[in-house]
Amino acid sequence: MKKVVIESPLAGDFARNQQYARLCALDCRNRGEAAYASHLFYTQFLDDRSPDDRAFGITAGYEWAQYADLVAIYIDLDVSAGMHRAYEHWKSQSKEIESRRLPLELLALLDADHPKTEGSCK
């Protein structure tokens, strides 16, 4: 089973982006992969609005994720500044990186719960 790091947007429409990340994890499961999304885990007990907490969460996420087989960058909602920084980090670590989009049936679940908001995920 491949270990996969999920990179997806979080800032902006926080609730919608959390739901999107959960759908990305489900997509990984459907592919037979073991997913890791540090931005879902660390935001359960750290405050993403706090620069110290955010820096800690990013660094801790990188520590765990270095053991992954590949990084999946989910691009349906565009690429945020944080995702771009993560891409540069993983590229410098020579980690395999793959751009992905959710299958339409999963993406439809997001839109059913959270109507699209213009520019909310950048």
Q: Which of 44, 38, 40 is nearest to 60 (CA)?
A: 38
Q: Across all residues in the chain, what is the average pLDDT?
A: 90
- Residue-wise pLDDT for 30-85, tens only, equals 999 999 999 999 999 999 889 999 999 999 999 999 999 999 999 999 999 989 99
Domain range annotation of the chain: 3-113
* Dihedral sign (CA 47, 118, 8, 112): positive
* pTM for this predicted structure: 0.87
The architecture that CATH gives domain 3-113 is: 3-Layer(aba) Sandwich (3.40)
Long-range contacts of 11-14 (CB under 8 A, 24+ apart): 11/48, 11/80, 11/82, 11/121, 12/80, 12/119, 12/120, 12/121, 12/122, 13/114, 13/117, 13/120, 13/121, 14/48
Q: Is the pLDDT of residue 23 over 60?
A: yes
